[in-house]
Chains A and B, each alone.
Chain A
Amino acid sequence: MVEEAAQEVFMKAYTQLGSYEGRGSLEGWLTKIATNTCLNMVRGAKRRPEQIVSELTENENEWLDEKLAIAANEDHRSAERDLIAADLADRVLGVLSPEDRLALTMIDGDDATIKEVAEMTGWSESKVKVRAFRARRRVREAMEKLIGGKKEQELHLKSAGEL
């Protein structure tokens, strides 16, 4: 899907180059195209909410264990670990609408400012702020549910082992 989106962005940039009036930066113009293209693709993609926070894969379980163990304070990363975390992020982001998802990914993931997101999407700054707030809350709750479920499962396994 990522490659498909990248192709689409290139296509649009090529075919709509004539409409670029040179008022803003070319980078900004391209970012806007990329943002709208990705948003449309996410809107078009089928959502499978039942898969979102139901069960963790083995890798995701390990990742969570590790993160919980190290109190999530250090910035110890590896490409493989990032991939697992990215999968987990996709799961929790699945609870969001495409617009909220975009706002949260840009602000919390990409460290973009509210103003930058507003420029890229064409939304007002207050709208971006509301979307990010709502998204952050929902994702945090989904994560809480995941951790809660995991801890419950561990407790269950532990008590079964004791028996």
Chain B
Amino acid sequence: MNNSHIIDILDNAPLSELTETQLASMRTHIETCSSCARSYESAVLTSHVMHARVAVEIEPSPFFATTVLARIREQQPENTPVMLRLWRSASYLVSSLAITTAALAVLSFVVPGPAIGSSEPATTAYSAESVILGDEEDLSYEQVLSTIYAEEEESK
């Protein structure tokens, strides 16, 4: 067995997976080959440290669960859809705009404003005198009557 051979066996598989026959022939070989003996020794130690490393159990800190839960809570807003996040931030602005628009609509269409043309149009446009004297030729019969009666009521 040459040096290269033993090294290939050592590197090809974990030491724990080598067969008894392989191990026996390696042990025989290293008795006469110092270079291979060093390699074998190192392989054995490496196998030990690797197993020891995995065997070490690390206890979590007492705040582990709290920290994880806090991080989950922190991340939750980041996971919500973009549109939902946008709506949440803009909802106050949109609601206030909607309320203002509704208020303006109510004021414009529902609440009656000062009625245009309802306040004495006849009296301001024509006088009873001009109507009686026939100066206003375009007036209808109803307009003549309303103008005359309106002035009479005012004088009372």
What is the interface of chain A, defined by CB distance below 8 A to chain B? 2-3, 6-7, 10-11, 14-15, 64, 67-68, 72, 77, 79, 81-83, 85-86, 88-90, 92-93, 104-105, 107-111, 133, 136-137, 139-141, 143-144, 147-148
Contacts and interface: CB of A to CB of B under 8 A. Distances in A.
Nearest to A134: B11
B49 to A, nearest CB: 4
A62 to B, nearest CB: 14
B56 to A, nearest CB: 5
Interface string B14-57: 11100000000000000000000011011111111111111110
B11 A7 contact: no
B71 A72 contact: no
Interface in B52-71: 52-56, 58, 60-61, 64, 67-68, 71
Interface of B: 7, 10-12, 14-16, 38-39, 41-56, 58, 60-61, 64, 67-68, 71-72, 75, 79
A108 B42 contact: no
Given A3-B60, A14-B72, A83-B56, A105 B50 contact: yes
Contacts of A93: 53
B68 A2 contact: no
A159 to B, nearest CB: 20
Contacts of A86: 49, 52-53, 55-56
B28 to A, nearest CB: 16
B64 A3 contact: yes
A143 B14 CA distance: 15
A144 B39 contact: yes
A3 B57 CA distance: 12
B46 A108 contact: yes
Contacts of B12: 133, 136
B38 A109 contact: no
B112 to A, nearest CB: 57
7 contacts: A3-B60, A15-B75, A82-B52, A105-B50, A136-B10, A136-B11, A140-B11
A108 B49 CA distance: 10
B64 A108 contact: no
A154 B3 CA distance: 26
